[in-house]
């Protein structure tokens, strides 16, 4: 189970990082944390249960410096989400010092030929206890390495929990954060800290068993721990997959005029409850006006980044407005805007010589097939059928 869940979490983290690299740094931080924790679990599986010298040589000790980055990335994610901030400050790079020191500690082993690493891996597969006698770090022995990595992550998890505790004291006064988003995201952050602490305890138990017992005894005594670790990985993956709104973080619109009451925003059917002062309705109204008047969607490369740049707000604020106020995905909104604009162009150019494909390009569609599929999906008719109906 640990192997399967580690691979799933690695895949999910890679998707998170690639998709949010330029859009949401906090999502990248949690993606990097998931990736490193999953790599740790995968390395543990290959070391204890694996039978491939190649894969064990690829992971054993070579990824250990990166494990000391999991704590900082976890902390950056929690802090950035609570503060609605993105990126790092100069002082934040000090958190990477332990990983750099560890990298230099294993540099001698790291740059040895891969054939030698395979020999070491085969020795471990033949006799697991060999790990205790292999010298791979110039500065520290294996006990210090294993325990320090866990203590390092534990410290960051505890401090992140402390940040959440302080935030909870002022949570009821956070009127510039959408209430539902605040409730869902805060609960996710609390659950995340608890799961990370549980993971650390699990790996600590594995480490203590490793120090105390021989290879065969270790296998017998750690089965339950491995299963619970796999379950924890599964919960982390489910949290992201089934509740993607947590990636919007806690969007804080400090400039919101909460006294204004919007009943409708242009042609969009966006209603506001009189008892619910949604701090992002004003931004949503500006976004809708921008889309209606400027028609940026006619650019084939139109993306959320264009809206964020125009509005001069973070990407995740725009994502929140589209998903939670417009109640649709950005891709669907973009498609509907283009189709609606195409319908208008078809009516206005009914007696002109412009082709349907030409009109589709004017609306932002970059291919004939994507245009016809989108038009059919939104209107229930093909462009030809639509023209016949207005004739």
pLDDT digits over 329-383, tens only? 999 999 999 999 998 888 876 656 778 888 889 999 988 888 999 999 998 888 8
Helices 142-169 & 179-212 angle (0-180, nearest 10): 160
Model confidence band, residue 206 (pLDDT cutoffs 50, 70, 90): confident
Please name the residues in contact with 304: beta carbons below 8 A apart, sequence gap of 6 or more.
23, 315, 318, 319, 322, 330
Secondary structure of residue 265 in the 3-state scheme: strand
Mean pLDDT over 160-178 rounds to 87
Model confidence band, residue 238 (pLDDT cutoffs 50, 70, 90): confident
pLDDT at 265: 45
pLDDT at 274: 39
pLDDT at 359: 87
Length of the chain: 391
Secondary structure of residue 226 in the 3-state scheme: helix
pLDDT at 221: 60
pLDDT tens by residue, 67-93:
999 999 999 999 999 999 888 989 999
Model confidence band, residue 103 (pLDDT cutoffs 50, 70, 90): very high
Report d(CA 208, CA 59) in Å as an integer.
21
Sign, CA torsion 72/77/83/85: positive
pLDDT at 214: 63
Mean pLDDT of the chain, nearest integer:
84
pLDDT tens by residue, 311-328:
999 888 999 999 889 988
Q: Between 372 and 208, whose confidence is greater?
A: 372
pLDDT higher than 80, residue 64: yes
């Amino acid at each position: 189970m640990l192997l399967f869940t580690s691979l799933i979490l690695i895949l999910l983290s890679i998707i998170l990082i690639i998709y949010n690299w330029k859009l949401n740094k906090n999502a990248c931080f949690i993606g990097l944390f998931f990736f490193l924790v999953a790599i740790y679990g995968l390395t543990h599986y290959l070391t204890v249960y694996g039978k491939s010298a190649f894969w064990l040589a690829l992971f054993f000790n070579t990824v250990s410096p990166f494990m000391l980055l999991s704590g900082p990335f976890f902390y950056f994610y929690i802090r950035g989400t609570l503060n609605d901030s993105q990126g790092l400050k100069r002082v934040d790079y000090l958190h990477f010092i332990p990983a750099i020191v560890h990298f230099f500690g294993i540099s001698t082993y790291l740059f040895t030929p891969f054939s030698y690493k395979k020999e070491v891996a085969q020795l471990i597969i033949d006799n697991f206890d060999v790990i205790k006698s292999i010298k791979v770090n110039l500065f520290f022995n294996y006990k210090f390495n294993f325990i320090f990595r866990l203590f390092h992550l534990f410290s960051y998890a505890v401090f992140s929990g402390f940040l959440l505790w302080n935030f909870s004291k002022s949570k009821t006064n956070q009127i510039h954060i959408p209430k539902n988003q605040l409730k869902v995201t805060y609960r996710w952050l609390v659950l995340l800290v608890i799961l990370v602490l549980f993971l650390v305890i699990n790996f600590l138990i594995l480490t203590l068993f490793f120090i105390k017992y021989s290879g065969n005894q270790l296998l017998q005594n750690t089965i339950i721990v491995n299963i619970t670790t796999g379950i924890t990985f599964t919960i982390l993956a489910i949290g992201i997959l089934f509740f993607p709104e947590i990636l919007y973080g806690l969007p804080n619109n400090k400039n919101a005029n909460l006294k204004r009451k919007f009943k409708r925003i242009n042609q969009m059917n966006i209603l506001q409850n009189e008892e619910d002062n949604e701090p992002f309705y004003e931004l949503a109204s500006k976004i809708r006006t921008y889309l209606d008047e400027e028609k940026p969607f006619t650019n084939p490369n139109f993306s959320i980044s264009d809206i964020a740049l125009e509005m001069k707000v973070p990407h995740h604020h725009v994502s929140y407005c589209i998903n939670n106020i417009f109640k649709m995905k950005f891709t669907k909104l973009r498609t509907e805007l283009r189709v609606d604009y195409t319908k208008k162009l078809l009516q206005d150019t009914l007696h002109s010589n412009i082709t349907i494909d030409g009109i589709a390009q004017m609306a932002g569609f970059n291919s004939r097939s994507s245009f016809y599929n989108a038009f059919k999906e939104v209107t229930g008719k093909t462009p030809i059928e639509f023209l016949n109906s207005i004739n």
